A and B are shown apart, each in its own frame.
Chain A
Amino acid sequence: MIPDEYLQTFVVECSELLEQMEQALLIVEQAAEDPEIINAIFRAAHTIKGSAGMFGIEPIVEFTHAAESVLDRVRSGGIAMDAVLAALFIEVHDHLQAMISRVAEGNQPFPEIDERSKILIAQLEAYLGEAKTEQPEQSAPAVHQPKLEREPGDTVAGTDLWHISLRFGPEVFRNGMDPFSFVRCLGKLGAIVELVTIIDAIPAAADMDPETCYLGFEISFSSDAGKADIDAVFNFVRSDCLIRILPPHSKIGEYQRLIQELPEQEMRLGEILVSCGTLTAEELNTMLRLQAQHGGEPQRPIGEVLVEQHLVSPPVVEAALEKQQQVKDNKRNEANLIRVDADKLDGLINLVGELIIAGAGTNLIARRAGMADLIESTATLSRLVEEVRDSALALRMVPIGATFNRFSRVVRDISKELGKDIDLVISGADTELDKTVVEKIGDPLTHLVRNSMDHGIEAADLRIARGKPAKGTLKLNAYHDAGSIVIEVSDDGGGLNKDKILAKAIERGLVSDGTGLSDKDIYNLIFEPGFSTADAVSNLSGRGVGMDVVRRNIQALRGSVDLDSVPERGSTIRIRLPLTLAIIDGFMVGVGNAAYVVPLDMVVECVELQAWVDSSDGHYLNLRGEVLPYRRLREHFGIDGEAVARENVVVVRYGERKAGLVVDKLLGEFQTVIKPLGKLFRGEKSLGGFTILGSGEVALIVDVPGLMAQVEHEKLIEQTAVAAAR
């Protein structure tokens, strides 16, 4: 019913809105406090939803609704727009773009896009958490169909006409409404057989406010429409008007109650009902006689009234009771806990950080002065400060169990959705990690779990054919390992298809060919940006969906992710995260006059460069037969001055890879409080932050994965250039 040209307007409009949304998303992380940025994102989603709804494009409505709900929470401050959420919204944006381009092409059904929508909607809804309640579809209050069955012995009165009684509230005119409009609208649902305008309430001239509404109607109405439809006519005046709608042939008691409820005299009303043709004169007489005998009905208990009026339903009551019980249980567990504002903890950690810096300064002075007593005393002090640091950090540590437990629900729901029988096995739930990390790891984990269940674990018949139990198993495990926490998501599914991944990666231009790549290298290609696109979902054995986003999110936490897979036996994804984000043990190096800190847990060994032999192309070093890529920090950071005669190499390891950093001097271990870099350094991927030395000088913290990624990227460009030159 909507012409194509309007659809074109819709597509153009959506493209503009999506562009605005993208721009806002790109700056939202830096400007998370700016309500206008969030508003811009919200408005884009909101407008697209509204327009799509009018065009009846349900998939887009459903999808934008989820996005809008989360954004609304962000607006109201209930949810923070952090890096993870911003990344999710980038995906939301991309997906919307895909949906709209489908509309532009004119194909309305989107089966594979639906699949993607579901995944993203679930991720969005995870943010809404338990507070999400079922929203009624319509704004109008639910109207229950009248019960038409008759109780035995109850006299049926009236004709085959509806009877509608209306008394309008005083503000109706001032609200811009005219009672007669509703009557005219009612006329579209059927025939108004008789209408009596009730003018009894109009006061005498002196007391009458002409802008106040005093009108009422008694209407007998012939219509095949349902009660809900008739009732809906009065939606806009419902809140301040008396509205009574009696279906044809209502029980005599109902007419009786109607008469009691209306403000006018009973006799007058009775006459009106008769004159309307709703009741016969004889019925009215019977009623008035009954009325006299009973002298009005006794009061009924409120519960009965509530049930009768369908104001509460049993499931609602049960849910409320359950909730109360949960609250009680939690209270019991919390009896020996103290709740502390996270901000206060952050303040403490900051102070401890300053203390460490001050301590290091004192240490330096003591050593320079050469006072043995003082050196000894500062050593004790340092040890104590270290303990304080550990205790302070421990305050922020929470077990990962609560996060893991959330997944039993997720796994159950997705199993149902996919029609697969899958068990969740949780281990290491007691493993503790920093609260901030816990908060941020939930979404990447959800993504990985969904992927494993969706694409990893095979259908039951295939599992049986492969000699595995029909029921799939998904494992979540966590443990501490060398100053980091490792979280594993493993499944006993079909594993990844190496050949397909390699073919895809070559097609996408991520690698030139498979030579020199181990199986593991190939598997990990799925984390490369540009590898996962929508059409990779269906034809690869899965895992294509936004894995680069997962990795990006994890790297934002100074973590790493890698993947092991055995064909037909399953896959394991390992996330390695720092225990805390605030303080690291660093290894300080000097280049020229500048000092740099490399996270100590990444340092494998330090050697003199002399002992090395440059390999032929100048990009690799030979370390006892092992080929390592290397980088001169002097060149990388563009530091002036002569290179020193004897350079040193710090061999670093991140994840499964090793590399060499060439520096002038090795300055030793150093405890470092990470301070974030300003916006100016946003683009600098090889720096993770800075720290203030005891001497007051600043040292930059090297982000090893970021640096190496940059090195590899440059290498790739060079290779491509060389290949092109041939």
Chain B
Amino acid sequence: MAKTILFVEDSASVRQVMNSTLTREGYQVILASDGQDAMGKLDGSKIHLIISDVNMPNMDGISFVKQVKQLPAYKFTPIIMLTTENQAEKMNEGKAAGVKAWIVKPFQPPQLLAAISQLIQA
């Protein structure tokens, strides 16, 4: 059974590239362009990993994570957050919300794949 990854990112080009990379690796991918969009895509079906950017319009990554953690179906879903080194404050907020895995932007697909493979396997 293929593992499902929810990928939340406002950059269309990053979504496009990561979608093809993750699909090629054998993951099922759900794409969302911001936190609000992502919340709309959480319908209770199993998600094995959430990858989310921090800086996004409408609903940013931190608010999104806080909301996800409130949903019983996803309270233990691992989350990787994409951040930049300038965001110590955001990171602390995210850590308080239960995010343990951080990837510093900009990254290239292999770096993210390596991080994913630490948490789930295809």
A54-B109, A139-B85, A182-B118 given; A6·B16 CB < 8 A: yes
B78 x A176 contact (CB < 8 A): yes
Interface size class of B (residues with CB under 8 A): 35 or more
- Contact call A72/B86, Cβ cutoff below 8 A: yes
Q: Is B28 an interface residue (CB 8 A)?
A: no
Which chain B residues numbered 51 to 91 have a C-beta less than 8 Å away from chain A? 53, 55-57, 76-79, 82-87, 89
CA distance A233 to B101 in the complex (A): 12
B89 CB, min distance to chain A CBs, angstroms: 8
Q: How far is the CB of A568 from chain B (nearest CB, A)?
A: 47
Flag if A49 contacts B98 (CB, 8 Å). Answer: no
Question: Once A and B bind, how many residue pairs between them come within 8 Å at the CB atom?
Answer: 110
Interface contact A181-B13, CB-CB below 8 Å: no
Of B76, B100, B105, B118, the residue contacting A53 (CB under 8 A) is B105
**Interface pair A52/B106, CB less than 8 Å apart:** yes
Residue A175 is within 8 A (CB to CB) of chain B in the complex? yes
Tell yes or no: A68 within 8 A of B by CB: yes
* Bound: A47/B10 CA distance, A: 8
Using A177-B78, A184-B121 as known contacts, say yes or no to A236 and B100 having CB atoms under 8 A apart.
yes
Near A by CB (< 8 A), chain B positions 108-122 give: 108-109, 115, 117-121
Residue in B20, B85, B105 whose CB lies within 8 Å of A50: B105
Q: Which residues of B contact A61 (CB under 8 A)?
A: 106
Q: A50-B105, A185-B121 are in contact. Are A177 and B100 (CB under 8 A)?
A: yes
Whether A237 and B84, one on each chain, are in contact in the complex, defined by CB atoms closer than 8 angstroms, is no
Beta-carbon nearest neighbor of A172 in chain B: B100
Taking CB atoms, residues of chain B closer than 8 Å to A234 are: 118
- Nearest chain B CB to A647's CB is how many angstroms away? 58
Would you call A51 an interface residue if the criterion is a C-beta within 8 Å of the partner chain's C-beta atoms?
A: yes
Taking CB as reference atom, which chain B residue is nearest A56?
B108
Q: How would residues 28 to 42 of chain B score, 1 for a CB under 8 Å from any chain A CB and 0 otherwise?
A: 000000000000000
Q: Are B106 and A9 in contact (CB under 8 A)?
A: no
Q: How far is the CB of A576 from chain B (nearest CB, A)?
A: 39
Instruction: List B contacts of A7 (CB < 8 A).
Output: 13
Q: Is the CB of B14 within 8 A of A50?
A: yes
Chain A positions within 8 Å of B2 at CB level: none
Give, as a whole number of angstroms, the nearest-CB distance from B29 to chain A. 15
| Chain B residues within an 8 Å CB radius of A10 | 13
When distances are taken between beta carbons in the complex, the residues of chain A under 8 Å from B79 are 176
In the bound assembly, the distance between CA atoms of A234 and B57 in angstroms comes to 32
Judge whether A451 is part of the interface by a CB distance below 8 angstroms.
no
- Asked whether any CB of chain B lies closer than 8 Å to the CB of A239, the reply is yes
Cβ contact within 8 Å between B108 and A54? yes
Q: When chains A and B are docked, how far (Å) is the Cα of A49 from the Cα of B104? A: 11
CB of B7 within 8 Å of the partner chain: no
**Distance of A246 from chain B, by nearest CB (Å):** 21
Most buried by B among A51, A56, A76, A188: A51
Question: Contacts A176-B77, A185-B121 given: A9-B102 contact, CB under 8 Å?
Answer: no
- When distances are taken between beta carbons in the complex, the residues of chain A under 8 Å from B117 are 184-185, 188
A426 to B94, CA, bound (A): 50
Residues of A within 8 A of B105 (CB): 46, 49-50, 53
Chain A proximity of B14: nearest CB distance (Å): 5
Evaluate whether A51 and B119 lie within 8 angstroms (CB atoms) in the complex, with A2-B17, A139-B103 already known: no
> Do residues B121 and A53 form an inter-chain contact, with CB atoms below 8 A?
no
Q: Give the chain A neighbours of B78 by CB distance below 8 A.
A: 175-177
Expressed in whole angstroms, the Cα–Cα distance for A177 and B102 within the complex equals 13
Known: A46-B55, A54-B109, A175-B98. A9 touches B121 (CB 8 A): no
* Cβ contact within 8 Å between B12 and A13: yes
With an 8 A cutoff between CB atoms, is B92 at the interface?
A: no
CB of A43 within 8 Å of the partner chain:
yes
Q: A173 to chain B: closest CB distance in Å?
A: 7
Q: Are the C-beta atoms of B76 and A55 separated by less than 8 Å? A: no
Docked-complex contact A47 and B55, CB < 8 angstroms:
yes
Question: Is A324 an interface residue when CB atoms closer than 8 A count as contact?
Answer: no
Closest to B120 in A: A181
Q: Is A23 among interface residues, defined by CB-CB distance under 8 A?
A: no
Say whether A69 faces chain B, with CB atoms less than 8 Å apart. yes
Query: Binary interface profile of A, 234-251, with partner B (CB < 8 Å = 1, else 0)?
Result: 111101000000000000
Q: Is the CB of A53 within 8 A of B98?
A: no
What are 8 A-to-B residue pairs whose CB atoms are below 8 Å?
A2-B17, A50-B14, A53-B108, A54-B18, A69-B86, A72-B86, A173-B76, A184-B121
B interface residues (Cβ-Cβ under 8 A, vs A) = 10-14, 16-18, 20, 53, 55-57, 76-79, 82-87, 89, 98, 100-109, 115, 117-121
